[in-house]
């Protein structure tokens, strides 16, 4: 993914009301959209360097969007949850994901077979759900950062697909320069951990890939290991 013009820089003053962030740009304070309603552990600290994009869409109330943060520890982390799907979409179409490189015809937002809701991507006999990881805790990347009934439901739906003979993939998009190993935050949501464990034993595949991000281009870096907690 390439940004042209390049993303612009500011200093995060505060993130509030779920979708809003105040950013100091030069002498001015810009209120922008923050498409991330999550906890944003470690990546919403006051004083962090942040980068944002600007939209030309006249219907938008806030023309700027927060894109990524440099944490106080110096790591670059994407905070725009919409980017995760875009990054994965690009990677799928350009066949950078070797596990599914034999598929070309990816559809977005495909209905979950047999129930309400959607998976992020589908192709032939493959269902793929994307989750973005942005939390580096004690040197290890973890997901989720909050209890999430919906995330658990998605995993269980993937398991149902696997049991019916489809390929079902839980895909962790990791746009965080400091994460090179991923696990599940069992303490945050024990039922999610159980759901992933059971899904994997039913044949659901779990993949995790890291992206490098910068003001101008975001590139797929490498696959990173995923392991269930002990």
Partner DNA sequence: TAGGATAGCAAACGTCATTG
Partner DNA sequence: CAATGACGTTTGCTATCCTA
Residues 123-152: x where in contact with DNA by CB under 7 A, - otherwise, as a string: ---------------------xxx-x-xx-
59: DSSP letter:
T
Q: From CA 108, how far away is CA 69, in angstroms rounded?
A: 27
Closest CA to 201 of 143, 159, 167, 168: 159
Q: From CA 228, how far away is CA 127, in angstroms rounded?
A: 21
- Chain positions 27 to 46 lying near DNA, rule: CB under 7 A, are 33, 35, 37-39
Q: From CA 159, how far away is CA 195, in angstroms rounded?
A: 9
- Return the number of the residue (122 or 183) whose C-beta is nearest DNA: 122
Q: Does 56 bind DNA (CB under 7 A)?
A: no
Q: Does 230 bind DNA (CB under 7 A)?
A: no
Print burial letters for 78-101: b (CB count within 10 Å at least 16), e (below 16).
bbbbebbbebbbebbeeeebeebe
Closest approach, Cβ 145 to DNA, in A, equals: 7
Q: From CA 222, how far away is CA 209, in angstroms rounded?
A: 6
Closest approach, Cβ 230 to DNA, in A, equals: 25
Place of tokens 């303490």: 187
Q: Does 1 bind DNA (CB under 7 A)?
A: no
Closest CA to 199 of 129, 108, 102: 129
Closest approach, Cβ 24 to DNA, in A, equals: 19
Tokens representing 118?
């959607």
Closest approach, Cβ 196 to DNA, in A, equals: 15
Show Cβ contacts of residue 187 under 8 Å, excluding neighbours closer than 6 positions: none
- Chain positions 66 to 95 lying near DNA, rule: CB under 7 A, are 81-82, 85-86
Q: Does 14 bind DNA (CB under 7 A)?
A: no
Closest approach, Cβ 53 to DNA, in A, equals: 9
Closest CA to 121 of 133, 104, 134: 104
Q: Does 191 bind DNA (CB under 7 A)?
A: no
- Return the number of the residue (118 or 186) whose C-beta is nearest DNA: 118
Taking CB under 7 A as the criterion, the residue among 118, 137, 197, 219 binding DNA is 118
Residues that bind DNA (CB under 7 A): 17-20, 33, 35, 37-39, 55, 57, 60-63, 65, 81-82, 85-86, 107-109, 116-118, 144-146, 148, 150-151, 154
């Amino acid at each position: 993914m390439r940004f042209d013009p390049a993303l612009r820089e500011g200093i995060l003053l505060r993130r509030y009301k779920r979708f809003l962030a105040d950013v100091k740009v030069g002498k001015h304070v810009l209120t922008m959209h923050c498409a991330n309603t999550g906890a944003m552990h470690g990546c919403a600290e006051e004083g962090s360097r942040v980068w944002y994009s600007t939209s030309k869409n006249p219907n938008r109330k806030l023309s700027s969007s927060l894109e990524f943060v440099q944490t106080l520890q110096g790591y670059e982390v994407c905070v725009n949850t919409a980017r995760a799907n875009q990054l994965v979409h690009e990677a799928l179409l350009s066949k950078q994901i070797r596990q599914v490189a034999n598929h070309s015809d990816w559809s977005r937002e495909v209905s979950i077979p047999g129930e309400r809701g959607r998976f992020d991507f589908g192709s032939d006999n493959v269902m793929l759900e994307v989750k973005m990881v942005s939390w580096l805790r004690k040197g290890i990347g973890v997901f989720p950062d909050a209890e999430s009934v919906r995330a658990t439901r998605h995993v269980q739906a993937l398991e149902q697909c696997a049991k019916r003979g489809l390929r079902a993939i839980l895909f962790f998009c990791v746009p965080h320069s400091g994460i090179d190993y991923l696990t599940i935050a069992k303490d945050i949501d024990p039922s999610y951990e159980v759901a992933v464990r059971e899904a994997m034993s039913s044949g659901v595949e779990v993949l995790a890939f890291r992206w490098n991000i910068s003001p101008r281009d975001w590139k797929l870096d490498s696959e990173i290991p995923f392991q269930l907690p002990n």
